[in-house]
Chain A
């Protein structure tokens, strides 16, 4: 930029504006990240030592004990397994079911197209609600069943609209030439449409996967078996346990506070383990989900 001789030189005021703007944003970024960073250093710090204030930037007494304790918590490995399973199976199946629907409805010549569209849109505005859904889940035998994590979220109208927007942009000639070569809709969809729509699929995959990974309400509502616990739900229980312990601790002595502290540090370590995959994944898919959100918003 500076090399351009015709460029109008920025006035002092504008330069000042740039500096102030940058400074405010930098402070804001620190505010956004620090609370979590604080959790990270506490997870790497000895639990009892953490009770003394003064740990701000680096762990004071470095240890990996919290992580060892977190992994050996009862049910943690099982919960991690369930979380991974529901995320992988749930995301793959949901993306296929939703995109196949979007592909079919993107064809103007689909018979009863308008009816299907309205049929799928209505639940966006009105639903049965918490208890009727719960009764249905029990009624069809999905209670305490792993499939309760997969089946209800197989289709998402919001994602379908995003897919629809992407499929509509595809040139009609693509379909016509494939059809002339004798390809049916299934071949066309799996061999041509899905491969050329990778950006939007990646975006939807990331959103669906993170949704599954973080979802805890269905575990609380529809399961009672320990074996079906997910990590996200485990943390929801922690959230309630911490409150109890933290309130208790103010009435009693240091020993109790130490016990609470150790518990807290271990939970922090567990949460870090659970958040790590998300933290690693999302920056790489950023440009995809930015596009996904844009399409979704513009198409309404």
Chain B
């Protein structure tokens, strides 16, 4: 009985304090005002600019040109997709092909690697070595793309790079390979660089999942005579399944993306056949060719498709884990 009155008075207290807080809303709103303004100006205002995808905007038009330029309906989208006897934009097809191709191999080849690496880290018993190795593996993540791209060009250059010198010395090749002039090498270069940069850092999330495993499970397994391989197979990996599923699905919307930094910095006229992705094509059309309306149309198509992929991916997560990401 006494407990009940205490509960009631506690509830009353809460309600009173809540009323006090309602009067204090001004302070809270002031605190979020800067963030709201930033998002309004830099995220929402540009959305209005999307209408130039349906207009013929002149680059000299300035901001007001967005409103005054003439409507042309779906003209730019027809140029992209073709139809009415017109062919689809061949560069657009090429960009989609490269974006999807690079992303596909990224998921198939690169996604599993951090999982293995995390398990291997976890198998090091000496904590100091484990820590040191983890720190080392994070390092490339913090080196910027322009620096990585500059360095890789020095390494694989036919005249001054050590890669060609090494391959020649070992006898694998007779003449130096001009890696960046030959399109067929480009995907491999992108993926190798991404792997190098991200593999260590991507293990963080998997190591977090591993650290949540109850150590008693391992002890029990040891007493039962399980080998380390069996413990990985039956304890560690199953415990990571949830995280792996979610992260895998999160890769889906990225399939239409690529890696702007690498494609732009290492792309050139000779390897454009394999290096041009949707983001670089949007940039080239807009900023280099000054076809603002057309570039916006490409961007709109891209973000529309990735939005659908994202919603689809979330639906999939919800179906599997009974709990969506958003």
A51 (CB) vs chain B CBs: closest residue:
B160
Contact residues in B for A189 (Cβ distance below 8 Å): 31
Chain B residues positioned under 8 Å from A290 (CB to CB): 204, 207-208
Which secondary structure dominates chain A's binding surface? helix
Q: A130-B299, A131-B286 are in contact. Are A21 and B136 (CB under 8 A)?
A: no
State which of A111, A123, A130 has its C-beta within 8 Å of the C-beta of B25: A111
CA distance A70 to B260 in the complex (A): 27
The reply to whether the CB of A185 lies closer than 8 angstroms to some CB of chain B is yes
Q: With A21-B120, A155-B38, A297-B205 as given contacts, are A129 and B46 in contact (CB-CB < 8 Å)?
A: yes
A282 adjacent to B142 (CB under 8 Å): yes
CB of A243 within 8 A of CB of B120, answer no
From B39, B42, B50, name the one whose CB has the most chain A CB atoms within 10 angstroms.
Answer: B42
Q: In the complex, which range does the number of interface residues on chain A fall in?
A: 35 or more
Interface residues of A in 186-238 (CB under 8 A from B): 186, 189, 210, 213-214, 216-217, 221, 232-233, 235-236, 238
* Complex interface: chain A residues within 8 A of B90 (CB): none
* Binary contact readout A34-52 vs B (1 if CB under 8 angstroms, 0 otherwise): 0110110000000000010
Chain B residues whose CB sits within 8 angstroms of the CB of A294 once the complex forms: 204-205, 208
B49 and A131 contacting across the interface, CB-CB below 8 Å: yes
Number of A-B contacts (CB under 8 A): 293
CB-contacts of B47-76 with A (<8 A): 47-50, 52, 62-63, 66
The smallest C-beta distance from B9 to any residue of chain A, in angstroms, reads: 15
Q: A36-B143, A128-B43, A130-B295 are in contact. Are A104 and B50 (CB under 8 A)?
A: no
Q: Given A129-B300, A214-B144, A300-B325 in contact, is the A260-B160 Cβ separation under 8 Å?
A: yes
User: Which one, A12-20, A60-68, A72-80, A84-92, is touching chain B?
Assistant: A12-20
Q: How many residues of B contact A (CB 8 A)?
A: 103
Q: Is the CB of A130 within 8 A of B135?
A: no
For B135, B142, B207, B326, which residue has the most chain A Cβ atoms within 10 angstroms?
B142
Contact string, A270-300, partner B, CB cutoff 8 A, digits 1/0? Answer: 0100110011001100100010011001101
With A39-B151, A116-B32 as contacts: A130 and B286 at CB distance below 8 Å? yes
Known A-B contacts A32-B196, A152-B38, A210-B142; A25 and B268 likewise in contact (beta carbons under 8 Å) = no
A239 interface residue (CB < 8 Å to B):
yes
Contact B268 A243 (CB under 8 A): yes
CA distance A131 to B59 in the complex (A): 10
Docked complex Cα distance between A111 and B27 (Å): 12
- Closest-CB distance, B178 to chain A (whole angstroms): 7
- The answer on a CB contact under 8 Å between B31 and A246 is no
Say whether, besides A135-B66, A185-B28, A240-B265, A278 and B143 are in contact (CB < 8 Å).
yes
Which of B20, B160, B265 lies in contact with A236, CB distance below 8 A? Answer: B265
Residues of B within 8 A of A283 (CB): 135
- B154 and A22 contact, CB distance less than 8 A: no
A91-107 interface (Cβ within 8 A of B):
97-98, 100-101, 103-105, 107
Establish whether residues A260 and B159, one from each chain, have CB atoms under 8 Å apart when the complex forms: yes
Chain A residues with CB below 8 A from B296, complex form: 129-132
**A18 contacts which of B21, B35, B125, B178 (Cβ < 8 Å)?**
B125
Query: Which one of B28, B140, B292 contacts A32 once the chains associate, using CB atoms below 8 Å?
Result: B140
Which of B38, B134, B137, B199 gathers most chain A CB within 10 Å? B38
Question: Known pairs A286-B138, A297-B208. 10 more at Cβ < 8 A?
Answer: A35-B155, A135-B292, A154-B38, A155-B34, A232-B144, A239-B265, A268-B151, A278-B142, A283-B135, A286-B135
| Interchain residue pairs with CB less than 8 A apart (10) | A25-B121, A33-B139, A103-B31, A105-B32, A116-B32, A125-B310, A131-B52, A232-B144, A260-B160, A267-B150
Across the A-B interface, the 3 shortest Cβ-Cβ residue pairs = A128-B46, A132-B49, A139-B63
